[in-house]
Amino acid sequence: MKFEDIKFYIISSLTAGGLMVIAGCPIITSQYMDIPGFSDKLQAGRTKNAISTVISGIVAQEAYRDSIIDIQVQKKFYPDSEIKGYVSNRRIDANMDLMLTSSHLKAAKDDMGMLEGNIEKSELDWRLEETNSGNYKIARWGPKFDCTLKLDVSNGKISGVYERPFTFDWSINGTYDNKGNVDCKISVPLGLDIGLEGKITPSN
């Protein structure tokens, strides 16, 4: 083994070890972890994973119609996740597999062309209803306030906001192109952001 190979192995091992230690930090873990339970300490992670899945599915449908989703969910100092699935002009099926659970959006347009469906997640599921073009009500079961996702996908740009009652809203900004490349950021005030980057490939 060459010296350069040994050096690269040592640096890689130290970096991986350092990231594992950081990922074990309770603050970072609570920002991304997604497991069953009703603790508020886990709410941020569940919400980020679920809303990332919703945004990826809607972007795919609005920008590309019939297509296959392959999006990397980038998490700071924590293992990334993947969103995979497919969309048609009327349906969305997008899923993020996690270590113990998953976040799964299954939705379809009604006779009025409005999207509605469910987000299956580790805690109580969400109900998604498009109230008017680009505005989506997210009904959360239990003692939680409903939220609103406003998302515009047009002219190569992704912009929007995830409105959360009595707390800070999350902003959404990104781009997409005619080759299927998607790059989007969900900015979380006083928390760790989420990045969505990957490919949405036309299926026909």
pLDDT along the chain (204 residues), means of 10: 46 44 56 63 80 98 96 92 96 92 95 95 89 94 85 98 95 97 96 95 85
| Domain with 141 in it | 3-202
CA distance 137 to 97: 24
Burial (CB count within 10 angstroms: exposed 0-12, middle 13-18, buried 19+), residue 139: middle
For residue 118, give every residue at least 6 positions away whose Cβ sits within 8 Å of its Cβ, in sequence order, or none: 105, 106, 107, 125, 126, 127, 128
pLDDT at 42: 60
Our count of domains for the chain comes to 1
pLDDT at 107: 98
For residue 19, give every residue at least 6 positions away whose Cβ sits within 8 Å of its Cβ, in sequence order, or none: 77
- The whole-model pTM stands at 0.82
Which string of b and e fits 43-80 if b means at least 16 CB within 10 Å?
Answer: ebbbbbbbbbbbbbbbbbbbbbeebbbbbebbbebbee
pLDDT at 142: 65
Opening angle at CA 35, ends 29 and 36, nearest 5:
140
pLDDT at 99: 81
Instruction: State the amino acid at position 139 in one-letter form.
Output: A
Q: How far is CA 55 from CA 16, 71, 72, 194, 204, in A?
A: 30, 11, 13, 12, 22
Contact criterion met (CB below 8 Å) for 37 and 46: no
Task: Tell me which residue of 150, 144, 91 sits closest to 117, measured CA to CA.
Answer: 91
Q: What 3-state class would DSSP assign to 101?
A: coil
Q: What 3-state class would DSSP assign to 155?
A: coil
